[in-house]
Amino acid sequence: MAMRMAGAAARSASHRISFSTGHLPSMRASSSPLSRQITMDAQSLAARLKTSGLLRSQGLIGGKWVDAYDGKTVKVHNPATGEVITEVPCMGSRETKDAISSANDAFQSWSKVTAAERSRHLRKWYDLLISHKEELGQLITLEQGKPLKEAIGEVGYGASFIEFFSEEAKRVYGDIIPAPLADRRLFVLKQPVGVVGAITPWNFPLAMITRKVGPALACGCTVVIKPSELTPLTALAAAELSLQAGIPPGAVNVVMGKASDIGDSLLESSQVRKITFTGSTAVGKKLMAGAAATVKKLSLELGGNAPCIVFDDADVDVAVKGTLAAKFRNSGQTCVCANRVIVQEGIYERFATAFSKAVQNLQVGDGFSEGITQGPLINEAALHKVESFVEDAISKGAKILLGGRRHSLGRTFYEPTVMGDVKSDMLISREEVFGPVAPLLRFRTEEEAIHMANDTNAGLAAYIFTSNVQRTWRVTEALEYGLVGVNEGIVSTEVAPFGGVKQSGLGREGSKYGIDEYLELKYVCLGNMEH
Ligand code: ADP
């Protein structure tokens, strides 16, 4: 791997964490030789990506790479080192209006080409994403921080939505309805909704975009993408590859900068017929309210508070492996990450010991170093949130079983942490911690576990670990969640519907259901058949 550091430097980047009962010392190691080495390599990697044309630092409007109209920029940082990778345009409403108008022009032709042609273009885009897997993975690690192996995994996952919807493009069938009157014929057409505004977060810089843009383009919509300002580079690289795939100029536009100005322009435009959003519940609610003025279609994938229930009858090894995957993927920064590990009292001690042992083996460090499984948190705000949740839990009686403080690597690295004796009223049980902290809560009966799991406004992912088939069905049916993993911690795939209930959102992404979010039904009644 081009960016992997050789030898001792790489090994020393990955600190083994140790059991600890202390918490919250503020340590910084930003000017160590290690971080200088990482910084140098990251900079040469950025230069290489620039030469290859995949590191773009302009927005894309109507097929043209453009700066902000007032020339302003936003810096994009590498969260592992704090270094500035590049600057991107700080765009606002003027650029967004132009992007909408380009998308609207492109819609007139893209919606009319055959499904087979759209399918071919998407397939080409998929092939290009896959053939640039390594570089896209490097970009993800550079701007987001997740370990390179995980980042390359995200490229495969992200690209799979383009492949899947390139195939689904050809399967958007309408219907013929038996008419209630002999001289009528009734049918249903499915047509693309129009221009789509796609607003995405930083935790999956590629997959959250392809999951939206794949089905949108497949059925003839065009898009204005607003990636997170923290991770716009992967979005821009993917957009570059969409152009190389022959997807017409204006079908895919990318603007970034002033989030609320861009959001407001998308909401106000009557040409934008749909907003698809992944991000915080607070912003999702704002968008939902804002979409009312022009009555837009909406898909919202918002925050979760995933329970991970381990029953006495679970296989401990399976439960540990599954919980580890559900909790620590992307250093705990996903909306389907286990937020509360709810463990039955008969297995609690055994699980806590085995789980802490497994967590202790996680390697923390720069995502480009060999063997790392835990990268940095995205920024200081994320780190402070984790710290304040841990502090709140400790002040209310929770015990640190492992970790519980900033990592000695400094910056936004945090020790993978396990907390015992956590209670339902602690902040960490009420809200998403979005970091590498696993709180263990104890329960006695199945009813109590279901009550604890459902005692939240969120309803995205839930996990259960049990060997009892009847219990699997009972609990799965009782859980108020959009996704349930049974004896499995990683459930997302392009072929299955992803989305939440309650305040976790509206609509589903991926799968045969995902394309419906971008389609309108048109009922046609043909009368007067006798003449
Ligand atoms: P997170 O906490 O994951 O960053 P946010 O909801 O703040 O979640 O961000 C998700 C996406 O929403 C990002 O692209 C962000 O820039 C964008 N965003 C934030 N505020 C607004 C807004 N008022 N209107 C539109 N988009 C917004």
Instruction: Calculate mean pLDDT across residues 291-316.
Output: 98
Least reliable range by pLDDT among 1-15, 222-236, 429-443, 467-481: 1-15
Nearest CA, atom 13, ligand 1 = 228
Q: What percent of the chain has pLDDT over 70?
A: 92
Q: Is the pLDDT of residue 34 over 80?
A: no
Q: Is the pLDDT of residue 531 over 80?
A: no
Give dist(CA 162, CA 180) in Å, integer.
40
Residue 47's pLDDT band (boundaries 50, 70, 90)?
A: confident
Residue 422's pLDDT band (boundaries 50, 70, 90)?
A: very high
- Residue 494 alpha carbon to ligand 1 centre in Å: 24
Q: Is the pLDDT of residue 43 over 80?
A: no
pLDDT at res. 41: 73
The secondary structure of 57-103 as a DSSP string is -SEEETTEEE--TT--EEEEE-TTT--EEEEEE-B-HHHHHHHHHHH
Give dist(CA 348, CA 329) in Å, integer.
23
Q: What percent of the chain has pLDDT over 90?
A: 89
Q: Cα 165 vs. chain centroid, distance in angstroms?
A: 18
pLDDT per residue as tens digits for the range 117-151:
999 999 999 999 999 999 999 999 999 999 999 99
- Residue 443 alpha carbon to ligand 1 centre in Å: 36
Nearest CA, atom 2, ligand 1 = 280
pLDDT at res. 42: 76
Q: Which of the listed residues 76, 200, 228 should we mutate to test ligand 1's pocket, taking the one with most ligand atoms within 8 A of CB?
A: 228
pLDDT at res. 24: 24
Instruction: Give the SS3 label for residue 226.
Output: strand
pLDDT per residue as tens digits for the range 491-520:
999 999 999 999 999 999 999 999 999 999
- Residue 259 alpha carbon to ligand 1 centre in Å: 6
Residue 6's pLDDT band (boundaries 50, 70, 90)?
A: very low
pLDDT at res. 476: 98
Residue 23's pLDDT band (boundaries 50, 70, 90)?
A: very low
Mean pLDDT for the chain overall: 93
Q: Is the pLDDT of residue 57 over 90?
A: yes
pLDDT per residue as tens digits for the range 164-187:
999 999 999 999 999 999 999 999
Q: Cα 233 vs. chain centroid, distance in angstroms?
A: 15
- Reply yes or no on whether 494 is catalytic: no
DSSP assignment, residue 257?
Answer: B
pLDDT at res. 30: 34
Instruction: Give the SS3 label for residue 350.
Output: helix
Give dist(CA 151, CA 144) in Å, integer.
9
Instruction: Give the phi and the psi of residue 345 in degrees, each rounded to 5.
Output: -60, -30
Give dist(CA 201, CA 208) in Å, integer.
7
- Residue 457 alpha carbon to ligand 1 centre in Å: 20
Instruction: Calculate mean pLDDT across residues 16-23.
Output: 26
Residue 27's pLDDT band (boundaries 50, 70, 90)?
A: very low
Instruction: Calculate mean pLDDT across residues 375-395.
Output: 98
- Ligand 1 pocket, residues with Cβ under 6 angstroms: 199-202, 226, 228-229, 259-260, 263, 279-280, 283, 286
Q: Are 458 and 280 in contact (CB under 8 A)?
A: no
pLDDT at res. 12: 34
229, 301, 494, 509: which one is catalytic? 301
Residue 474 identity: R
Q: Is the pLDDT of residue 33 over 50?
A: no
Region at 491 (left for phi over 0; alpha for psi -120 to 50; beta for the rest): alpha
Q: Is the pLDDT of residue 115 over 60?
A: yes
